[in-house]
């Protein structure tokens, strides 16, 4: 931009760079020269106050905002500037259109239906977000979405539970609009091929399901389960898995509306439902086919698929306990980091 300035305008820039310059004590003629300079750049050329500050050098947008007030200049409304930036495709962080396979699309949608929110915040874009205490889910969110848009992460304090967690969100290209499709709308294409029939429940399981490995009468038992308050969503997952040849139990009521959570005593506002499959052989078969990506779920999958997994619990139990302890340790450290950073940023909390 500095190369586009006229000789007179460059002289104004040099004036504004003067150390100890006092706008208040400046004569009216000089003020008018600066006033015309800022009006031309800001209102006629659409240059932001931040960029004007960069032209001046060693200044911030706070300084140029103060300068406009001193000179009686009305800054362009924020919305006008934002819309202009969108029209000209000027963004701090670029957004890349979705370029994954149809199987990736099914996985992304299953993950979103399970534990993410997707909504239109601005025209031409879609915002996706989530909250978590698990670093594995945070790493998955970042890995999946960072190729397409900047991933924002910040710690949060939850007043109802008096606990800390991490909030994530990203603003994506409008090609991600498919993430707003509901369970009924997506059936036509999700149910069309085997790969999408597997991709969708894999994403759903990574988001809001469980791979349970436990002991029953000294033998190892497996169960894959999906949990949600949305019965239509569970019925869609059940129907899709049924098309692959799996007999899924449920939906059965897991937690009744009005009951309280065990850890924080928060009252549930809706009934919590579950669908699942418990046959050891069928669980192994389905796990082998599901393209899971969540590190915690993958570690359980690997244990469940080990050749000795059907042996006595004496072999599987200690390995499962190692996984549980690692998950707990990682989660506790991640929550502690959220608390530390939150308190640093909110010293009066």
Per residue in 243-296, pLDDT tens?
999 999 999 998 888 887 777 677 788 898 999 998 899 999 999 999 999 999
* CATH number for 283: 3.10.28.10
Report the alpha-carbon distance of residue 202 to residue 210 in Å, rounded. 11
114-172 pLDDT tens trace: 999 998 877 788 999 999 999 999 999 999 999 999 999 999 998 888 899 999 999 99
Q: Are 179 and 112 in contact (CB under 8 A)?
A: yes
Do 242 and 276 share a structural domain?
yes
Its pTM stands at 0.73
**Beta pairing class for 272-277 and 249-255:** antiparallel
| Residues 6+ away with beta carbon under 8 Å from 102 | 189, 193, 195, 196
- If asked whether residues 157 and 279 sit together in one domain, one would say no
Q: Say what the pLDDT of residue 328 is.
A: 95
176-204 burial string, b = 16+ CB within 10 Å, else e? bebbebebeebeebbeeeebbbbbbbbbb
Residue 308 falls inside a structural domain: yes
Identify the domain boundary among 45, 62, 87. 87
The distance between the two most distant Cα atoms of the chain, rounded to a whole number of Å, is 93
130: β partners: 168
Please report the pLDDT score of residue 349 as a whole number: 65
- Do residues 239 and 332 share a domain? yes
9 with 77, same domain: the answer is yes
**199 and 270 inside one domain:** yes
The span from the CA of 348 to the CA of 37, in Å, is 42
203 and 230 both lie in a single domain:
yes
- Say yes or no: 238 and 285 in one domain: yes
Residues 149 and 269 in one domain: no
Could you report the per-residue pLDDT of 98-110, keeping only the tens digit for each? 999 999 999 999 9
Q: If you average pLDDT over every residue of the chain, what do you get?
A: 87
In whole angstroms, give the CA distance from residue 202 to residue 111: 8
- 232: in domain: yes
Burial class (CB in 10 A: 0-12, 13-18, 19+), 295: middle
Residue 346 lies in a domain: no
Kindly state the tokens that stand for 337. Answer: 């980091």
Residue 15 in domain: yes
Please give the Cα distance from 111 to 208 (Å, whole number).
8
How many helices (H) and strands (E) the chain has is answered by 13, 8
Asked if residue 93 is part of any domain, the answer here is no
Whole-angstrom Cα distance, residue 204 to residue 275? 12
Q: Which segments within the chain are labelled E, that is strand? A: 117-119, 125-132, 151-158, 163-173, 209-216, 219-228, 249-255, 272-277
Say if 97 falls within a structural domain.
Answer: no
Ramachandran region of residue 275, left (φ > 0), alpha (ψ -120 to 50) or beta? beta
Same domain for 275 and 230, yes or no, is: yes
Let me know whether 18 and 48 are in one domain.
yes
- Give the structural domain span for 257: 193-338
- Between residues 325 and 28, which one has the greater pLDDT? 325
Sign of the alpha-carbon dihedral angle for 131, 135, 136, 139: positive
What is the number of structural domains in the chain?
3
| End position of a domain, from candidates 149, 180, 211 | 180
- Alpha carbon 158 to chain centroid, angstroms: 18
- Do 141 and 238 contact (CB within 8 A), yes or no? no
Q: Is residue 56 part of a domain?
A: yes
- Same domain (yes/no): 239, 293: yes
Higher pLDDT, 55 or 137: 137
Same-domain status, 198 and 330: yes
Sheet holding 151-158: strands in order across? 117-119, 125-132, 163-173, 151-158
Query: Is residue 343 a part of any domain in this protein?
Result: no
């Amino acid at each position: 931009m500095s190369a586009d300035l006229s000789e007179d305008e460059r002289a104004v820039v040099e004036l504004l760079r003067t150390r100890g310059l006092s706008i208040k004590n400046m004569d009216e003629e000089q003020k008018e020269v600066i006033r015309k300079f800022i009006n031309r750049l800001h209102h006629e050329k659409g240059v932001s106050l931040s960029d004007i500050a960069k032209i001046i050098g060693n200044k911030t947008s706070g300084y140029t905002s103060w300068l406009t007030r001193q000179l009686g200049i009305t800054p362009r409304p924020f919305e006008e500037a934002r819309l202009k930036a969108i029209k000209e495709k000027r963004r701090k962080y670029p957004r890349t259109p979705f370029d994954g396979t149809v199987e990736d699309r099914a996985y992304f949608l299953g993950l979103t239906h399970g534990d993410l929110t997707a909504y239109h915040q601005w025209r031409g874009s879609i915002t996706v977000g989530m909250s978590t205490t698990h670093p594995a889910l945070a790493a998955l969110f970042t890995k999946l979405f960072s190729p397409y848009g900047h991933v924002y992460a910040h710690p949060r304090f939850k007043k109802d539970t008096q606990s800390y967690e991490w909030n994530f969100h990203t603003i994506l290209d409008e090609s991600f609009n498919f993430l707003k499709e509901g369970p009924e709308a997506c059936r036509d294409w999700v149910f069309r091929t085997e790969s999408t029939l597997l991709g969708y429940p894999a994403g759903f399981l990574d988001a809001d399901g469980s791979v349970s490995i436990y002991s029953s009468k000294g033998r190892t038992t497996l169960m894959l389960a999906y949990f949600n308050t949305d019965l239509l969503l569970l019925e869609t997952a059940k129907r899709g898995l049924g098309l692959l040849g799996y007999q899924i139990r449920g939906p059965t009521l897991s937690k009744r509306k009005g009951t309280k959570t065990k850890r924080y005593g928060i009252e549930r506002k809706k009934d919590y439902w579950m669908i699942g499959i418990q046959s050891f052989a069928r669980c192994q078969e389905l796990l082998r086919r599901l393209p899971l990506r969540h590190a915690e779920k993958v570690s359980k999958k690997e244990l469940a698929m080990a050749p000795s997994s059907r042996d006595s619990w004496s072999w599987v139990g200690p390995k499962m306990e190692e996984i549980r302890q690692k998950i707990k340790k990682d989660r506790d450290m991640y929550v502690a980091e959220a608390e530390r950073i939150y308190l640093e940023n909110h010293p009066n909390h």
